[in-house]
Structure 1
């Protein structure tokens, strides 16, 4: 009963965040929903193995593993691209402020989404966890099963690759350098 309450609390707290993480990785809302469910199914099965790691990092590790398993399965079938370059999410433009600023912000956001689609999975994951989810290095270490040095190096390389891709595309993107 106690484990059920623990899992219910984890679901309420992290389901939406995990869904958006999996959506960024897969590029498919349907697949992200399925993988979110799969994450909590696996969490239910392995809750007894959970050894007090921070819950958020542990769940992201489970989610990433579910995604990688699905990706490998799809790769064997060669049916689904890894990430759709066209975002299905349309953002509303705020009725406040200058419309041109909103458009520029929206274009910049779309450019970033496009660029992330060209990165290898590990770089996409680490950039997403650090920049979008604001994970600490320790949380990234737990979620991706890396050492602190590997986290720092991978973040640096991912940012450098992202900046190089932006430059190659002729886009201004120096935030990540």
Structure 2
């Protein structure tokens, strides 16, 4: 059974865009990186052995982001941040009140994790925002399963501590 890029694109384009938007904080850059992700996926889709396409596609998106980030860093521009990230997590219907509450929660989450170390930030983002399993996160980030578990455990502790201080402010 062959996987078609059109089907993969239709199924995962919005989610890949949201992930890249959260990483960059810029909709234009996220659109460009989403396009680059699917161009790379098209080039290597024939080599991809059947399995879970979603984690593989996130890995392609993450590597596309890293390439862009390194290029940007070389050009001495500001690093991307999680500031001013819009809440696009929910795919289902929400009332206006629920939508505002979700947006506030996401903004607080994004603000707090923006200062976390790289592994914790990426692991928490993939785990909570994209509902990846530990194994899938390890595959996307090219780190060991134990590193993912440690990063999420420590990140949760920091998140819990920081969230409390965020509410006190």
1:151 has 2:148 as partner: yes
Q: How does 1:42-121 map to 2 (within 5 A)?
A: 42-87=40-85, 94=95, 106-121=103-118
1:127 has 2:131 as partner: no
Bigger mean CA offset, 110-119 vs 66-75: 110-119
In 2: Cα distance, 1:26 partner to 1:120 partner: 16
Secondary structure of 2:166's counterpart equals coil
Q: How does 1:152-167 map to 2 (within 5 A)?
A: 152-167=149-164
* Structure-2 change in CA distance of 1:140 and 1:37 (3 Å): same
Bigger mean CA offset, 155-164 vs 102-111: 102-111
Secondary structure of 1:21's counterpart equals helix
- Asked if the contact 2:86/2:107 (under 8 Å) is kept, the reply is no
What is the aligned-residue RMSD (CA, Å)?
2.8
Count of residues in correspondence between the two structures: 163
Residue of structure 2 in register with 1:23 after alignment: 21
Larger CA Rg, structure 1 vs 2: 1
* Structure-2 change in CA distance of 1:11 and 1:153 (3 Å): same
The Cα of 1:88 is off from its aligned counterpart by 5.3
Structure 1 moving runs of 4+ over 6 Å: none
Unpaired runs of at least 5, structure 2: 89-93
TM-score by length of 2: 0.81
Deviations along 1:41-64, one digit per CA (max 9) or x if unpaired, are: 111111232123410000000000
In 2: Cα distance, 1:132 partner to 1:81 partner: 21
Deviations along 1:87-140, one digit per CA (max 9) or x if unpaired, are: 3569xx94568xxxx766554332212112222333222111111111122222
Bigger mean CA offset, 35-44 vs 122-131: 122-131
